[in-house]
Amino acid sequence: MRPEILFPLFADVTTLPGLGPRLGKLVQSAIGPHVADLLWHLPSGIIDRSYAPKLAEVAPSRIATLTVRIDTHLPPPAPRRPYRVMASDASGELEIVFFHAKGDYLVKLLPVGETRLVSGRVEMFQGRPQMTHPDYIAKPEEAAEVTGIESVYPLTAGLNLKTLRKSVRAALDRVPALPEWGNAPYLAQQRWPAFQAALESVHAPKTEADLLPITPARQRLAYDELLANQLALSLIRAHQKKQSGRVIAGDGQLRRKVEAALPFSLTEGQRQALADIAADMASPKKMLRLLQGDVGSGKTVVALMAMLAAVESGGQAALLAPTEILARQHAAGIARLAAPAGVTVTLLTGREKGKNREAILAGLASGETGIVIGTHALLQEDVVFRDLMLAVVDEQHRFGVHQRVTIGAKGPKGKGGVDVLVMTATPIPRTLTLTAYGDLDVSRLTEKPAGRKPITTIAKPTEALEEVVSGVTRALNAGAKVYWVCPLVEESEVIDVAAAEERHAHLSQIFGARAGLVHGRLKGAEKDRVMEAFAKGSVDLLVSTTVIEVGVDVPEATVMVIEHAERFGLAQLHQLRGRIGRGDKPSTCILLYQKPLSETADSRLRILRETEDGFVIAEEDLKLRGAGEVLGTRQSGMPTFRVADLAVHGDLLQAARDDARLLLDRDPELQGPRGQALRILLYLFERDAAVRYLRSG
Ligand code: ADP
Ligand code: MG
C-alpha cells in the first residue's frame, strides 16, 4: 500500500488550484494524472523579465518589464481595430495594444493617471515602443512578482504557461518532508542537494545552463529515479531467484545427434551461451537468462539445444515468437535441425483451428509433443502442457514482461518454476540492458558465424532509381535473391501496403512473376506461399513492407534495396539489413533516400555505411535519439524515465545499480531506516509493483 505521506502527491491533478475538469483533462493526458506527475514535468526554457530599461533605451524584440504612467485610453475607432492605451515615463512613450478587448475591463486594469508595470515583448512601431498583450500588468508594490526569471514548460494545446506554472508551484508546495533515501557519503561526495531542494531548484532555473541535465539538482533527481528503477529490478530478481526451479540436466543424447548433423560447427559464443544455459537449467534455481545476439548471430540453434535438454529430461519446451511468419519459419527450421534426433516439433498459431488445433493441444497435454513453436496463441488458457520445463521467448522486445510471465506459468504445479530463456536480436546498449533486463542474467553472441561475407552498404538519392533497377536486374540475372523494402509511409498500414503494391506492380512489369509481394495484410496462406517461393525458387525479388524486419532467414538473399531509408530508425535499418549477408556470398544493401536529408537522417545513413556492428549502432542510436525512443517505450516493455536521460546519465545508472545491490544484501526486506525511506522512493517513482515482493512491514 502506498505510504500515507505520499497521498498528497498522488491526489488527482484536478485538486490543484486552477485545474478544473477541462484543463485537468488536458494535464492528465499530456503530463499525467497525479500531482506528482507535475513535479517531473521539467522546464525547457526561461524567460528573463529582469530587463527593465527606460522607454528611451528599450531594445526592440526583447522581453522587458516597463514601469509606466497610464496616460490615455483610445478605444477602437472601428470594429476589428485594436484598443490602444498610451503610457509614458520621463524618457518616452509606450503604446500598449489589445485586440478583441473589453474596454471597461482595461479601464480597471490600467487606470489613467496611475503607475503600472507591464511586462512582455517590446517591438518598435513607427519609431515608438509598442507592447501587444502584455504577459503581466502589475501594481508597483507587486514588482517582485513580475520582474524575476520565469520557467518555461513544454505545453500542450489549450494549456497556457501561467496556469501550468501555477499548478507546478502548487504541486511543489505539496511535497512533504521525506526521509533521505540516498546513501549519505555518496550524496556528500557528489555535492548534490537534498531531494526537495533539488526539486525546487530544477523548477527555478536562473540561466540557460540550469536547464542542462548535468546540473547537480537534475543529477540528483535522475539518480533517485534510476535508484528506484534498479532497486525494483533487484527486488524482482531476488524474488525470482528465490523461486525454485528444477534440475534439468538431460543425458545429452539428443543434443549430440543434432549437433553431429549440423552443416556447420558451433561458434565459440554459441558454445559459451549453451554452457551458461545448461548450468542454469541444471541448477535447482529458476533460469532467467537473456540471450543477446545480433541478427544472424545464430540464436535459433542455441534455443533448439536448450529445448532438447528439456526433452531429454522427459519434459517439454515452448518457443514464443512475435509474428506468424517468424513462428512458421522457426518451426520449419527447427523441425529440420531436430529431425536427426527424432523429436516432434509442432506449430501453434492463430491459424491452427478446429480439429487441427484440438489435436495439437492434445499432443501438448499428453506430452507426446516435445517442442512447440508458436505465437501469442500459445498463451491462451486452454493451452496446457503435460510438463513444460523451458520457455523460450524470441525477440523479447516485441513482448512485455507480462507475456514472459504468462508462458512461464504454464509449468506443472508444485514442481518448481519453468526455466525461461529470452532472446533478442535488438542490440540494446549496455545501459539500456541494465534498466530493462536488470533482472536477467545475460549471455551474448558477439561473433558472427564463420564464413560470413561483409555487406557493402551504399546510399543513393531516389533520382537514381533507374540505375538501381538496372543493378538489381544484373544481380538477378547472376542468380541473386533480392529484397525490396518499401517505406513506412504513415502510422496506417493500409497506406504502407499501397506503396508496396505500387512498387510491386512497377517491378512486375520488368521482372514478371519473378517479383513477389508480401505484407502484413495478406492472408496467412498467401504470405506463406510467397515466402516459400522466395526461399525455394520461383520468386527472386521480394517486394515487402517491413514485415520482413524480424528474423526472416533466407541465406541466399544477397541484395536489399530500402526505399525512403531516411524514414527508418537506425535500429530498424540495421534489423532490415540483417536479412542479407547470411550466406557465403558478399551482399549489398542500397539505401534509397529522398533529398534533402535532415542532419540526423544523414548521420543514420552514414553510420550504417560505416559499420555492421549492432552494438556500435545501438550506442549511436542512443546518442541520436535519446533512450526513450530507442525501442519505443511502453509497448516494448522498456521502462520510461521522467527525469533521467540515459544518454547523459549512464554512469549514474551504474552507481544506482551498485547501490541497490549492496543495500539489498544488507537489508533484503527494506526494514532498516534507509530501507523504509527507499520504500517511499519506490512508490514515488511508481516502481511499487516490486514492493509486493517484500514481506509486509
Ligand atoms: P538469429 O540470431 O538472427 O536468430 P539465426 O539463428 O536465424 O540468427 O541464424 C542465422 C543463420 O546462420 C541461419 O541460417 C543458421 O543456420 C546459420 N548459423 C547459425 N549458427 C551458425 C554457425 N555456427 N556457423 C554457420 N552458420 C550458422
Ligand atoms: Mg534450473
* In-domain check, residue 692: no
Same domain, 419 and 491: no
- Helix (H, G, I), strand (E, B), or coil: what is residue 475? helix
User: Using an 8 Å Cβ cutoff, are 395 and 550 in contact?
Assistant: yes
Which of 147, 164, 180 is a domain's end point?
147
361 lies in some domain: yes
Assigned domain for 163 exists: no
Number of domains, the chain: 3
CA distance 220 to 245: 39
> What is the CATH number for 546?
3.40.50.300
- 80 and 105 within one domain: yes
* Residue span of the structural domain in which 523 resides: 455-611
Mean pLDDT of 98-126: 92
pLDDT beyond 70 at 354: yes
pLDDT score of 431 more than 70: no
Cα end-to-end span (Å), the chain: 10
The residue written with cell numbers 555505411 in the block is 609
* Residue 45 forms part of a structural domain: no
Does some domain include residue 576?
A: yes
Which of 101, 97, 102 minimizes the C-alpha distance to 86? 97
Shared domain for 419 and 481, answered yes or no, is no
288 and 427 in a common domain: yes
Domain boundary among 418, 445, 472: 445
Regarding the beta carbon of 300 and ligand 1, being less than 6 Å apart is answered yes
Average pLDDT over residues 597-605: 88
Query: What single letter denotes the amino acid at residue 147?
Result: T
User: What share of the chain has pLDDT > 70, as a percent?
Assistant: 91
Per-residue buried b or exposed e for 164-181, using 16+ beta carbons within 10 Å of the residue's own CB: bbebbbbbbebbeebeeb
As a 3-state breakdown, the chain gives helix, strand, coil percent values, each rounded to 5, of 45, 20, 35
* 344/292 same-domain check: yes
If asked whether residues 375 and 464 sit together in one domain, one would say: no
Q: Is residue 621 part of a domain?
A: no
Ligand nearest to the CA of 535: 1
Average pLDDT, the chain: 87
DSSP annotation string for 239-302: HHHHSB-------SHHHHHHHHH-SSPPPHHHHHHHHHHHHHHHSSBPPEEEEEE-TTS-HHHH
Give the pLDDT band of residue 697 (cuts 50, 70, 90): very low
| Cα–Cα distance for residue pair 185/455, rounded to 1 Å | 51
Say if residue 184's pLDDT is above 60: yes
| Most ligand 1 atoms within 8 A of CB, residue of 394, 553, 575 to mutate | 553
Domain assignment present for 328: yes
From the CB of 298, is ligand 1 less than 6 Å away?
yes
Query: Are both 589 and 517 inside the same structural domain?
Result: yes
Same domain, 495 and 523: yes
- Kindly state whether residue 330 falls inside one of the protein's structural domains: yes
The CATH code of the domain that includes 78 is: 2.40.50.140
Is residue 436 located within the same domain as residue 294?
Answer: yes
Give all strands (DSSP E) within 5-82, no chain letters: 45-48, 62-74
Domain match, 126 and 107 both? yes
Does ligand 1 come within 6 angstroms of the Cβ of 569?
no
Phi, psi angle pair for 438, to nearest 5°:
-55, -20
Q: Are residues 394 and 487 in the same domain?
A: no
pTM above 0.75, yes or no: no
Rounded CA separation 195/217 (Å): 8
Checking DSSP bridges between strand 345-348 and strand 371-374, what pairing results, if any? parallel
Judged against a pLDDT cut of 80, whether residue 493 lies above it is answered with: no
Q: Are residues 530 and 479 in the same domain?
A: yes
Residue whose C-alpha cell is 517442442: 371
Report the residue among 259, 272, 274, 301 best suited for mutation to probe ligand 1: largest number of ligand atoms under 8 A from its CB. Answer: 301
State the angle between helix axes of 430-437 and 614-625 in degrees (0 to 180), rounded to the nearest 10: 80
Position 629 scores a pLDDT of 45
Q: Of 129, 147, 165, which residue constitutes the final position of a domain? A: 147
